[in-house]
Amino acid sequence: MLYTSYIANIKNIPDDYYKLVITRFPPSSMKFDNNIRGEKKLCLAKILSPHKEILLDYKEDDDWEKYTRRYLKQLKDPVINDYLDQLIEFMVHFNDIVLLCYEKNSTHCHRRILADYINNKYGIKVREL
């Protein structure tokens, strides 16, 4: 299964779930494995976070539609799609994965956009923990 949640909720996520932090600026206190198969089951995936320019523009103009449109365009990049293909393959055959970012409420959050993108591309329902 594939889930989304927020970093402050990590203590409530089962230990056997793989946690993928999808933020551009991760907490400095977190120590990440080099890849998703690491011992800690905690990995950083900046590739799935909005580009810095998209994030900073949104913080300045608060235009959610523009932010969504730009992030969806970013997600169509072949390198990102290759990464997602590998992530989904790993999940389907082996493990539960949780995509984590900072926002407690996923209404205006890139993890919700990413979850919808995954649902549309792969037909996988991504649930919020």
pLDDT (tens digit per residue) in 75-95:
999 999 999 999 999 888 878
Q: What per-residue confidence (pLDDT) applies to 53?
A: 96
pLDDT (tens digit per residue) in 17-40:
999 999 999 999 999 988 777 778
Beta bridge partners of 99: 4, 20
Contact between residue 112 and residue 32 where contact means Cβ atoms under 8 Å apart: no
Strand-pair category, 127-128 with 18-21: unpaired
What's the mean pLDDT when you consider all of the chain? 93
